[in-house]
Amino acid sequence: MKIPLLDLKAHHTPIEKELLAAIGEVLRSQAFILGPTVKNLEERIASYSHTAHAIGVSSGTDALLVSLMALDIGPGDEVITTAYSFFATAGVISRLGAKPVFVDIDPTSYNIDPDKIEPAITAKTKAIIAVHLYGQIADMSAIQAVADRHSLKVVEDAAQAIGAENQEGKRAGELGDLGCFSFFPSKNLGALGDGGMVVTNDAALAEKVRMLRVHGGKPKYYHSIVGGNFRLDAIQAAVVNVKLNYLDGWTAARQENAKRYTELFIKSGLVEKMGVKLPKPIYKDSGTAHFHIYNQYVIRVPNRDKLRAYLKENEIGHDVYYPIPFHLQECFQDLGYKKGDFPESERAANETIALPIYPELTAEMQEEVVSRIAQFLIA
């Protein structure tokens, strides 16, 4: 059985009529740039993430970029972040002329290890970007405590974590100074193209992001600051508005799938006999429905690269998020890091594999995924 890593056709087909109607409405209104559709989504995302303000932007990457711009990050500044994330997290720091400073991850959650942040702080450090990788909130209380001690700003890269909650029921995006979401199609809440959102409880930062997204003009054509075109398209906002109605159901389906994988992996003997490591939600005991929203289901396996080849041969979708930690990327070589600097990030890059977890995945497909892995690793 061929099993894709993600099946966007299965995801969109049941809501195709609704999506087309929403797109048609924008077409007939001719309000393509910002306007009521974008505003409506902003209000709903603010409410969904328990924040006072939300600003629709052109992508998750631009949400991060514009957040750092709103914090006046630039040449001479250092921004601390994880060594292990999607490229955008570190790329935006460099693009503003600031210096990314990397910190290793916690091997269980794959999120930044808060204990390693303080030693990385210098007089130039201005901010921390915390990433909620795979859909689980980083240890924000520990991160915020460090930030408070050194008067640093905290930006949440919540691209993979919309709706995720910590042990206190606080949601991704409401914990830092600014929170960033992505509507890239493979995220839990995806557009039919690019889009993103910045959320914040700080009215002044919200106002600044709003200005920056339209070249810094306020009023139009009067520029006290330099921004860019970072607007969210009304058509994409209309699509995301429809899909937001389904998000909690999709999250529940992802969580059900994760639970089923855990049962199947334990039953298969892979955990006990082969030392396969399953995702461990750190907020499990909180009782919140959203402790981990499983944008990705990532396991650690022995013999990872040979397993990948076997799965590919057998048409089982999978990927590695991410094969090269930031400090080993060619473009960051001038930062002076070397192999061995962040051993947990390097280990994660070598040992982990992401399996299909999308809401439409069936129990039968999951059984096939686990039995293929067992066939390779045990037989």
Ligand X SMILES: *Cc1c(COP(=O)(O)O)cnc(C)c1O
Q: Which residues bind ligand X (CB under 6 A)?
A: 59-61, 85-86, 88-89, 131, 157, 159-160, 182, 184, 194, 196
- CB nearer ligand X, residue 6 or residue 27: 6
CB of 109 to ligand X, least distance (A): 14
In the DSSP assignment, the letter for residue 188 is S
CB of 115 to ligand X, least distance (A): 22
CB of 7 to ligand X, least distance (A): 18
CB of 295 to ligand X, least distance (A): 7
Give residue number: closest CB to ligand X: 60
- CB nearer ligand X, residue 237 or residue 307: 237
CB of 269 to ligand X, least distance (A): 33
- Helix axis angle for 363-377 and 304-313, nearest 10°, is 130
Position 314: which residue type? Answer: N
How many Cα neighbours within 13 Å face the side chain of 28? 6
**Is-contact 60 180, C-beta < 8 A?**
yes
Q: What length is written for the chain? A: 379
- CB nearer ligand X, residue 143 or residue 274: 143
- CB nearer ligand X, residue 172 or residue 328: 172
Please name the helix (run of DSSP H) or strand (run of DSSP E) that holds residue 204, with its range, or none. Answer: helix 203-212
Show the CA angle centred on residue 270, arms to residues 269 and 271, nearest 5°.
Answer: 95
Q: How many CB atoms lie within 10 A of CB 244?
A: 16
The residues near 141 (Cβ < 8 Å, ≥ 6 apart) are: 166
- CB nearer ligand X, residue 114 or residue 377: 114
- CB nearer ligand X, residue 125 or residue 236: 236
- Dump the DSSP string for 164-175: -B-TTSPBTTSS
Cα gap 304→364, rounded to integer Å: 24
CB of 287 to ligand X, least distance (A): 27
CB of 233 to ligand X, least distance (A): 13
* Class of residue 262 by CB neighbours under 10 A (exposed 0-12, middle 13-18, buried 19+): middle
- Residue 61, phi-psi category: left (phi > 0), alpha (psi -120 to 50), beta (remainder): alpha
- CB nearer ligand X, residue 183 or residue 283: 183
- CB nearer ligand X, residue 110 or residue 376: 110
CB of 256 to ligand X, least distance (A): 22
Q: How many CB atoms lie within 10 A of CB 298?
A: 23
* Class of residue 295 by CB neighbours under 10 A (exposed 0-12, middle 13-18, buried 19+): buried
